[in-house]
């Protein structure tokens, strides 16, 4: 009964607006009715810096479907991963968070701590803390959204945790990681690092499942599923910390 009451409260509290659906990928968002029905389902987030988009997905019939694409107000430092505290850069990579990373009373409205540094960042000696997705539309090292967008994102993430999701994966990319875009950035000093991220992007595009990512010898590695069972039914969202 408590879960049902929480579900109804969150459903009624959803903001009465439609997110900007000019999406970074070719995915078509679900309709408004189905979107509301997916409140409480497991969720997954992708961020694209260059496109300035945050995409929120929810699980439906074993696949993750786009429910909203939201313009990012601000992030700092341009493309490339964060390496040290004070470099003003926003993180890139694969992050896993749990319910304790939610900050409903953040001074930047509502916030989700990204979980930087993760195992990869630590292996590289990178430093930093309190890197967030948050509201208030202002950022130094975080991903800032409008308060309205943050309301919706936070509501779906919080509901997913309250209905049993243990870890939320947040995949942060410099851009939509197509072969053409990788070729266009082949001379970047970040290219080697980005080559570690591309398999995660490609996996989701093909399977509509969040990639299962581990850190091996200081590098990201995308694991393939052991069977035809959807990854979300196996050991998806395995913590990297």
Catalytic sites, residue numbers: 134, 142
Please classify residue 156 by burial: count the beta carbons closer than 10 Å to its beta carbon, then call 0-12 exposed, 13-18 middle and 19+ buried. Answer: buried
Least Cα distance to 36 among 67, 6, 64, 59 occurs for: 67
Least Cα distance to 35 among 54, 9, 16 occurs for: 16
- For the stretch 137-140, contacts whose Cβ atoms lie closer than 8 Å and that sit 24 or more positions apart, written own/partner, are 137/73, 137/74, 138/73, 138/74, 138/108, 139/73, 139/74, 139/75, 139/76, 139/90, 140/76, 140/88
Report the distance separating Cα 192 and Cα 24, nearest Å: 23
How many Å is the Cα radius of gyration of the chain?
17
Instruction: Quote the Cα angle for 51-53-56, to 5°.
Output: 145
Tokens of 48: 């694209």
Tokens of 36: 């509301």
Tokens of 166: 């243990």
Any idea what DSSP says for residue 49?
T
In contact, 155 and 225? CB cutoff 8 Å: no
Largest CA distance in the chain: 57
């Amino acid at each position: 009964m408590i879960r049902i009451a929480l579900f109804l409260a969150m459903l009624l509290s959803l903001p009465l607006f439609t997110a900007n659906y000019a999406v970074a990928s070719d995915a078509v968002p679900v309709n408004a009715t189905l979107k509301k029905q997916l409140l409480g389902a497991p969720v997954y987030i992708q961020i694209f810096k260059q496109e300035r988009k945050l995409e929120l997905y929810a699980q439906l019939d074993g696949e993750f479907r786009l429910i909203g694409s939201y313009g990012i107000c601000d992030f700092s430092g341009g493309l490339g991963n964060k390496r040290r505290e004070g470099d003003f850069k926003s993180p890139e990579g694969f992050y896993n968070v749990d319910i304790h990373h939610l900050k409903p009373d953040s001074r930047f409205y509502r916030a989700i701590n990204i979980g930087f540094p993760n195992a990869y960042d630590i292996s590289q000696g990178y430093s930093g803390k309190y890197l967030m997705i948050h509201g208030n539309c202002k950022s130094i090292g975080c991903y800032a959204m409008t308060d309205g967008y943050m309301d919706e994102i936070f509501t779906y993430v919080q509901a997913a945790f309250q209905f049993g999701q243990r870890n939320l994966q947040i995949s942060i990319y410099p851009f939509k990681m197509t072969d053409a875009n990788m070729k266009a950035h082949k001379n970047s000093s970040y290219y080697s690092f980005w080559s570690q991220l591309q398999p995660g992007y490609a996996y989701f595009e093909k399977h509509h499942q969040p990639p299962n990512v581990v850190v091996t010898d200081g590098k990201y590695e995308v694991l393939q599923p052991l069977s035809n069972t959807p990854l979300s039914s196996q050991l998806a969202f395995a913590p990297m910390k």
